[in-house]
Amino acid sequence: MCGIGLIVTGVPIRGHLGPGEAEASGFSCQRSPKSAEPVGPNYEDLCNGLKRRGPDHIGGQVLHLSPPIQNLEKSESTEHPHPHPTTRNEPQTGTLIDCTSNAENPPPVATPEGDIAVDLGRCGLSESTGGARLQFVGATLQLRGDKPVQQPLLDSVGNVLVYNGEIFDGLKVRPCENDTEVIMQALRNCCNCACHSHSQHHQLIECACSDSSQLHQTVPGLLSQLRGPWALIFWQAVSRTLWFGRDAIGRRSLLIHKPSSEDPRLLLTSVAPERTKHEGQEAHDDAAHMSSYWDDVTCGIHSITFKSTLKDGSMKQNLTPASCLRDEQETGTVKPAEHLEGWARVHDWHDPLLKSLLAWERALVTPTEELTRYHLTGSDQESPAKRILEALCRAVKRRTESIRIPKKCKELLHSVNSRASSTLADVRNEQFSPLAVLFSGGVDSMILAAIADQFVDPDATIDLLNVSFEGDFAPDRVTAISGLSELEERFPLRRWRLIKIDAKLSDLSSQRGHLLSLICPSNTYMDINIGTALWLAASGVGYVHESPSQRCQGQESETKPVQSEARVLLVGSGADEQCGGYGRHRTKFKQGGWVMLDAEMRLDFNRIWKRNLGRDDRCLSDHGKEARFPFLDEDVVAALLNLPLWDVVNMEEPAGCGEKKVLRQVARLLGLKSASSLPKRAIQFGSRIARESNRKDFGSNRAANLANAGTVVLKEFASS
């Protein structure tokens, strides 16, 4: 998991930067006058916002682009905005300076045939230099691979990558490899032609980029193959194209600031930095401005191709180092790139599976009259549950088997296991937890914990993280304690550790501004309540609950504070949207039967990236943890869609049975009988943060309910 960011300065961008924008609409990305500093964050602010997500390393890289001077004085034939096909073995960029260089002011370098010049970027680079500039930043939390990997990743032909995600399928990643390096190599091998924009079927075809050993592969084609959560920003040097985007489901956050009159730059970042205002703004205006400044990048693949223009407006492809970089060395300034332009577009997914998932195509929605009269037998009911259980097992295995365990923790486990005389209490006092589960004791988190037991090192502890704003009396705390007992009874050889994270809103006032920046651009009371609960849970700071069996075995005292060392969190997001877990699903069924229920579930799934996942990723990752969502694994989503709707959910059955029907059957297959009958309870209600927030902000729960508090925009985000 990483934090990634980019600032593009000094070049106008035209085309599509997202839905709702007309083709060829112009977005000025020119530098503001020196007296009018841009309203938004600078490069250092971006770094400060990202470093908590990637505590292992943070680095930067800067690209300077300029048009060829010789083309500015003469008129030549107009060319198509898209670059002509060029063999990928003939890169046209300069040699990159190693990001570990100790030079104070390394000079820009380029080969004679180069089209850009590159100098070393650092976090904190001055904003005073103008021109066309791309500033990359990457903060790394490394969870895979034997060797440390630092971002931004650079290669010898001029490609630059900042990547936040996990590859679980689609590209082969060996246990010793880091997936960022694997995807960089795959992207380097992609062609740079525009054949994909003219192919109706997006299959691998022969083209100008093909050679005798390999058919052409495009960047959209490659990214469509990936399975797992990801967001990335990639500079393809040979085509002068900037690629960025998110996976089809939207499991990793990526925010965008589109160029505007207020701030003409293009910015991308995993999380909004707290400083987003102009220096002249009042502090209380910061949050309101921040909410309007940032937006979520839509799920999908976006590109901006940079080209030079002649004085008469015609387009040229080639970009050269030119004299503007020499001016920087001589005078400390860079000439504005007045003859550069970026063309933006959005690309389709090429993979049929992704298209079918996003279309939410379910074959069987309404049961026939014969089926409604026929009550399925128990054995028949188990078949759908078994298929979902198998898909979930594969999903959890993918998300647990590749966790990089620090060397000191490996040595700890080995030393404990090799001591034949160690008592159980000794082992418990030296436990290491590579994995934690966000745990309410409900059916979703119980399923994840039970399946994780099959794939996590048997000598390791699994932490169960539970947050409460009402001590042991909150509903989620009660079910968590009950769930721990059921897990211990069902899986007695596993070391389970329930960490009770207690909080009060009054103790979080100093963190309010930080939490607002994490949920941004989400802006309601429900968003801040959910985000705060997730943020606290991910911290892993609390007290270990002592069950009767643990007290007998000499485990930690409940009064001793602990912090979970787990860097990977399993989260149950997506279960309610896909399996009919919300109260409104039952309401829709009453209003319009199976068809209206299916439509509501489709709506929930297609907007989960906007309403939930980006916010949740930002809040959970702020503590240097990575959230993984097994219920949103592509194969799990496909398996659920392949079932008849009435096997997934049946609102004709009572509460606690009909909603999430198939998951309750999965829980019973795992031996979790108590958990299989628990009602659905959202984290803001189960932890009691919503009740405390309602009293604080609305005076009472009743007043909050009358105001429909969950959808009310926070006062900090409201326009004055």
Per-residue H/E/C for 210-268:
CCCCCCCCCHHHHHHHCECCEEEEEEEHHHCEEEEEECCCCCCCCEEECCCCCCCCEEE
499, 564 contact by CB (below 8 A): yes
313 domain-assigned: yes
Q: Do 400 and 331 reside in the same domain of the chain?
A: no
530, 589 contact by CB (below 8 A): no
412 domain-assigned: yes
pLDDT tens across 58-82, in order? 999 999 887 654 444 433 333 333 3
Domain containing 492: what range? 378-711
Q: Pick the last residue of a domain from 352, 368, 398.
A: 352
Q: What is the pLDDT of residue 594?
A: 96
Q: What is the DSSP letter of 656?
A: T
357 domain-assigned: no
Q: What's the average model confidence in pLDDT over 49-53?
A: 90
Confidence at 710, pLDDT banded by 50, 70, 90? confident
Q: Do 181 and 145 reside in the same domain of the chain?
A: yes
pLDDT > 60? residue 327: no
The percent of residues in the chain predicted with pLDDT above 90, rounded, is 57
Cα R_g (the chain), whole angstroms: 27
Q: Do 387 and 529 reside in the same domain of the chain?
A: yes
- Higher pLDDT: 655 or 87? It is 655
Q: What is the pLDDT of residue 279?
A: 46
Q: Do 259 and 393 reside in the same domain of the chain?
A: no
Q: Do 417 and 314 reside in the same domain of the chain?
A: no
pLDDT > 70? residue 401: yes
Beta strand 568-570 with 626-628 is parallel
- 548 CB contacts (<8 Å, ≥6 apart)? none
Confidence at 317, pLDDT banded by 50, 70, 90? very low
Q: What's the average model confidence in pLDDT over 279-292?
A: 64
Tokens read off for 324: 């503007």
pLDDT tens across 124-167, in order? 444 444 568 999 999 988 776 667 788 999 999 899 999 999 99
Q: What is the pLDDT of residue 78?
A: 31
Q: What's the average model confidence in pLDDT over 382-411?
A: 83
Q: Do 410 and 289 reside in the same domain of the chain?
A: no
pLDDT tens across 97-121, in order? 233 333 333 333 333 333 444 343 4
720 domain-assigned: no
Find residue 230's DSSP bridge partners.
165
Q: Do 429 and 344 reside in the same domain of the chain?
A: no
Identity of residue 51: K
27, 258 contact by CB (below 8 A): yes
- The secondary element (H helix, E strand) that includes residue 48 is helix 43-50
Q: Pick the last residue of a domain from 352, 386, 406.
A: 352
Tell me whether residue 324 is exposed, middle or buried, using C-beta atoms within 10 angstroms of its C-beta: 0 to 12, 13 to 18, 19 or more. Answer: buried
Lowest model confidence (mean pLDDT) among 297-301, 332-336, 350-354, 716-720: 332-336
pLDDT tens across 679-694, in order? 888 999 999 999 999 9
- The secondary element (H helix, E strand) that includes residue 608 is helix 608-608
The interaxial angle of helices 443-455 and 378-400, nearest 10 deg, is 60
Most distant CA pair in the chain, distance: 87
Q: What is the number of domains present in the chain?
A: 2
Q: Do 336 and 382 reside in the same domain of the chain?
A: no
Most confident of 362-366, 420-424, 628-632: 628-632
CATH of the domain at 512: 3.40.50.620
Confidence at 420, pLDDT banded by 50, 70, 90? very low
Q: What is the DSSP letter of 158?
A: S
Read off the pTM: 0.85
Q: Do 182 and 317 reside in the same domain of the chain?
A: yes
At residue 696's C-alpha, the angle toward residues 692 and 702, to 5°, is 75
pLDDT tens across 242-272, in order? 999 999 999 999 999 999 988 999 999 999 9
Q: What is the pLDDT of residue 549?
A: 62
Q: Do 406 and 530 reside in the same domain of the chain?
A: yes
CA gap 711, 611 in Å, rounded: 12
Q: Do 92 and 226 reside in the same domain of the chain?
A: yes
CA gap 387, 642 in Å, rounded: 10
625 domain-assigned: yes
Tokens read off for 486: 């059921």
Q: What's the average model confidence in pLDDT over 349-366?
A: 92
64, 130 contact by CB (below 8 A): no
Q: What is the pLDDT of residue 648?
A: 96
450, 669 contact by CB (below 8 A): no
Confidence at 340, pLDDT banded by 50, 70, 90? confident
Could you write out the DSSP letters of every residue in 444-491? Answer: HHHHHHHHHHHHS-TTSEEEEEEEESSGGGSHHHHHHHHHHHHHHHH-
439 domain-assigned: yes
- Higher pLDDT: 13 or 108? It is 13
438, 452 contact by CB (below 8 A): no
Residues making up the chain, counted from first to last: 720
631, 574 contact by CB (below 8 A): yes
Q: Do 133 and 14 reside in the same domain of the chain?
A: yes
pLDDT tens across 451-480, in order? 999 999 999 999 999 999 999 999 999 999
369 domain-assigned: no
Cα separations in angstroms, 411 against 180, 233, 656? 27, 36, 45
186 domain-assigned: yes
pLDDT tens across 506-559, in order? 999 999 999 999 999 999 999 999 999 999 999 999 999 987 665 665 555 557
